[in-house]
Amino acid sequence: MRQYVPSAVSSPRLIVSAIGVALSASSAYAADPAASSAITLDATSINGKAEQASTDYKVEKASSQKYTAPLVDTPRSVTVIPQQVIKDTNALTLQDALRTVPGITFGAGEGGNPQGDRPFIRGFDAQGDTYLDGVRDTGAQTREIFAIESVEVAKGPNSAIGGRGAAGGTINLVSKRAHLGNSLDGAWTWGSDQTQRYTFDGNYQFSDSVAGRLNLMTHESNVAGRDKVNYDRWGIAPSLAFGLGTPTRVNLDYYHLESDDLPDSGIPYTIPTGGSTARTSAHPSKPYDGGDSDNFYGLTGRDFRKARVDIATFAIEHDLTDSLTIKNTLRHGNSMQDYILTQPDDSKGNVNNGSVWRRANSRVGNTATTTNQTDLFGEFYVGGLKNSFSTGIELSREESKRSSYTVDTDTVPGGTANTNCTPGMIGATSGYNCTSLSNPNPDDPWNGSIARDYAGTDTKSNTRAIYVFDTLELSPQWLLNMGLRYDHFDTQYRSHDATGATAVNSKGVVAKGKDTSEFVTGQLGLVWKPAENGSIYVSYATSATPPGAMLGEGTEGNPLGNTTDRGGNLLSSDLEPEETTNYEIGTKWDLLDQRLSLAAALFRTEKDNARVQVDTTTYENVGETRVQGIELSASGKLTEKWQVFAGYTYMEARQIDGGAVGKVNDGNQLPNTPNNSASLWTTYSITPRLTIGGGAFYMDEVYGSVANTTVVDSYVRYDAMAAYKLTKNVDLQLNVQNLTNEVYYDKTFSTHFANQAAGRTALLTTSVHF
């Protein structure tokens, strides 16, 4: 049984046709020698002016005006993944792109965590800390890269810039927007595992100050080394700009992404039973696939995932003077998920018995967000001292609705509910809810019942915020970077039954709650410039995570009061926002005639009022976690022909105080946080036409939970690429990802399973550009 999200355009073949039409229609002006060449620009600004060469790995400045200094003078760790790195690595999703940034891992979706991107930055869950052009992108989703110019990762507490949450940092995606000049880029990719991908990026200048841009994408693929898993998606992102090159500029943008996938159900953890050692931190369980890493434990006739994202943006920007600009951004976004997927359950000792229970996880979710940001930014002098500043206000309203399906996964059809799977219950005896660990059949004729469960939870939140940032030039050698933000955040939730009435559990607890939080967060950094091309800095930054910050779109580490634990007990009333503090000392240098950027930082991040459970029904803000370590990075050109994008992160991430209930885990390593991680990507232009490149990506072992009882092994993945210019307008690029066909896991969950990464994948891309 497959469920479908209604859509005005259901077939991605229409997008393929549109690409063909666009390529044909655009060729006339693209071939015109008088047409302007492409312009790469700061995609958050809408002035239409070039910012830097599009082939550079080195980036001078973050896109947001809230960063009031170039990156070399910004006193915090910020990594920008430019378009050329995205292109050279053939990154297709946000997770692909973030592989080039060490210190970031991904967790698996399960239970309260919806399917989609769940990054961890410096040991802290950042599922709700992703932004699009500086505006929070709330809904859970698997983000594409076809309409993205670059990706900016700020590490360390960042609530001053991003608002609530951001304990470990933020991720900002910078959109492709219309600009002056004419350009056309079309690409089609064929690869292993039936991969077919087509993209189109065309920009046309209609007049001296008006331009339009259109990005299109369609993608179909299976997954190397994984039976049955497949992805099918398409997207469109038009952009229209008025007033480019004038004092008043307007941008209208729209983004649509739709997908229909058979998601990967992952590999179960083992559970020692009987006379074996129990699962402990000394003897943690690891994923076990029964001897065949291709094994897929889902059901092709039951599992599905359909998703849709729509985002509309209106931005207007006006230069009040040569040094003062005002900008307003209004955005409405909607994301939708509908899925049933099999979780290979490890309970009851099934895996050790050679069998797997096909537990069903499901969700029907919708998130809607409306945000308005007004910013004033520029430069002014006080007492002869230069101030580069940005100030603004933010108003937003976010709503989420989620429910699920009722799926019959009972292993004793018609009998008492049972999740135990013995070898004798594999197959028809259990209604195909039990399958073999070593030889599962995804095409089993499962015919259990599926019913829409309209009981669910609705969550609403409102944010009102004001912020100010300033870089004060005390002298040519000394800079003071300051930022302050005040947030008023109120949120409420209500769980309801299928009739819409507020739910009451078996213990009489009414399932609704609300909270209002007010908090101030900030950043302060002192920069010393011993030379024009370098800096040494010390900085301090804070973040705040109020109750209900995730809007029900992930695991609430600080949930609203009046919620219940798994036993149905009423938890204590709402507590204070969790506060995270970061201390950092670092240095940044632009070397080799400004071609290469090097950075190093020592950091210590502390959360000393984490919400922890002190008894059966009581939570208090008395917990403590700590992450400290070192980061190194390099980006840019070693020579005119040799580029590099590399980094290394060491983290010591520990639970210091888990409260009375969680103290058994004190001293344990935080989940999804490797001690060591590193990435290296480099390319070399052998001739003006031929470029070769490659990369290596290392990740230490990662624990699935703070109990440290589940773990995935460390790994090294190698990639390679070669690109050749057939003509001035046609390129070929071959990428081989996971060159050695390493079997490794890139997402972990606290119990039950881990997600296996794709095996060796070859992708051949033909690009035309004018």
CA distance 4 to 310: 17
- Can you give the pLDDT at residue 632? 98
Q: Is the pLDDT of residue 25 over 60?
A: no
Give me the percent of the chain exceeding a pLDDT of 90: 71
Span 233-275, pLDDT tens digits? 999 999 999 999 999 999 999 999 999 999 998 999 887 554 4
Task: Say if domain 13-259+300-341+358-408+449-665 classifies as CATH 2.40.170.20.
Answer: yes
* pLDDT (mean) for 601-606: 98
Mean pLDDT of 117-137: 93
Write down the mean pLDDT value for the chain.
88
Contact criterion met (CB below 8 Å) for 61 and 70: yes
pLDDT attached to residue 634: 98
Mean pLDDT over 658-664 rounds to 86
In angstroms, the CA 574 to CA 360 distance is 32
Task: Find how far residue 668's CA is from the centre of its chain.
Answer: 26
Q: Tell me how long the chain is.
A: 770
CA trace torsion 133, 139, 145, 150 (10° rounding): 30
Given this model, what pLDDT does residue 255 score? 98
The amino acid sitting at 25 is A
Closest CA to 270 of 710, 610, 744: 710
Percentage of residues in the chain with pLDDT exceeding 70?
Answer: 87
Tens digits of residue pLDDT in 605-623: 999 888 777 766 667 778 8
Phi/psi for 83 (5° steps) reads -60, -35
pTM here?
0.91
pLDDT for 679: 98
pLDDT in tens, 298-337: 999 999 999 999 999 999 999 999 999 999 999 999 999 9
SS3 call for 473:
strand
pLDDT range class, residue 111, cuts 50, 70, 90? low
| 588 contacts: CB under 8 Å, gap ≥ 6 | 71, 72, 73, 74, 534, 535, 537, 597, 598, 599
CB of 547 within 8 A of CB of 578?
no
Q: Which residue has the higher pLDDT, 680 or 348?
A: 680
- Residue 89: which region, alpha, beta or left (left: phi > 0; alpha: psi -120 to 50)? alpha
Model confidence over 573-596: pLDDT tens digits?
A: 557 899 999 999 999 999 999 999
Q: What is the mean pLDDT of residues 516-533?
A: 97
What's the half-sphere exposure (Cβ side, CA atoms, 13 Å) at 68?
A: 28
**3-class SS of residue 711:** strand
Q: How far apart are CA 520 and CA 501, in angstroms?
A: 37
Domain ranges of the chain: 13-259+300-341+358-408+449-665
Vertex 496 angle, CA 491 and 500, to 5°: 115
Pairing relation of β-strands 226-242 and 730-737? unpaired
Task: Give the DSSP H/E element, type plus range, for residue 700.
Answer: none
pLDDT one-digit tens code per residue, 383-425: 999 999 999 999 999 999 999 999 999 888 777 778 888 889 9
DSSP alpha helices (H): ranges in 155-250? Answer: 159-162
DSSP 401: E
Task: List pLDDT tens digits, range 210-224.
Answer: 999 999 999 999 999
Residue with tokens 């700020």: 154
**pLDDT class of 42 with cuts at 50, 70, 90:** very low
Sign of CA dihedral 224, 226, 230, 234: negative
- Residue 159, pLDDT > 50, answer yes
Handedness of CA 350, 352, 356, 360 (dihedral sign): positive
Alpha-carbon span 129 to 127, nearest angstrom: 6
How many helices (H) and strands (E) would you count in the chain? 5, 36
Q: Please give the pLDDT value at position 92.
A: 97
Question: In whole angstroms, what is the distance from residue 610 CA to residue 621 CA?
Answer: 5
- Tokens describing residue 318: 């006006």
pLDDT at 412: 85
Confidence of residue 510 (pLDDT cuts 50, 70, 90): confident
In whole angstroms, give the CA distance from residue 757 to residue 740.
13
pLDDT at 219: 98
Beta strands (DSSP E) in 638-752 are 642-657, 676-685, 690-699, 702-703, 711-712, 715-725, 730-737, 745-748
The model's pLDDT over 698-722, given as tens digits with 9 standing for 90+, comes to 999 999 989 998 999 999 999 999 9
pLDDT in tens, 57-109: 999 999 999 999 999 999 999 999 999 999 999 999 999 999 999 999 988 76
Q: Is 65 helix (H, G, I), strand (E, B) or coil?
A: coil
Strand, coil or helix: 471 = strand
CA–CA distance from 324 to each of 344, 356, 665 (Å)? 57, 63, 53
- Helix or strand or coil: residue 587? strand
- Which phi and psi angles does 221 have, rounded to 5°? -165, 155
Do residues 333 and 256 make contact, with C-beta atoms less than 8 angstroms apart? no
Per-residue confidence (pLDDT) for residue 747, from 0 to 100: 87
pLDDT of residue 35: 39
Distance, in Å, from the CA atom of 619 to the CA atom of 611, rounded to the nearest integer, reads: 6
The per-residue pLDDT for 610 is 84
Taking the CA of residue 145 as centre, how many other CA atoms within 13 Å lie in the half-sphere pointing to its CB? 21
pLDDT at 11 over 60: no
Per-residue pLDDT at 21 exceeds 60: no
Which band of pLDDT confidence, cut at 50, 70 and 90, is reported for residue 477?
Answer: very high
Beta strands in 271-384 (DSSP E): 304-321, 324-345, 355-382
Residue 520 has pLDDT above 80, yes or no: yes
Q: From residue 108, how far is each of 339, 464, 578, 634 by CA, in Å?
A: 15, 32, 23, 30
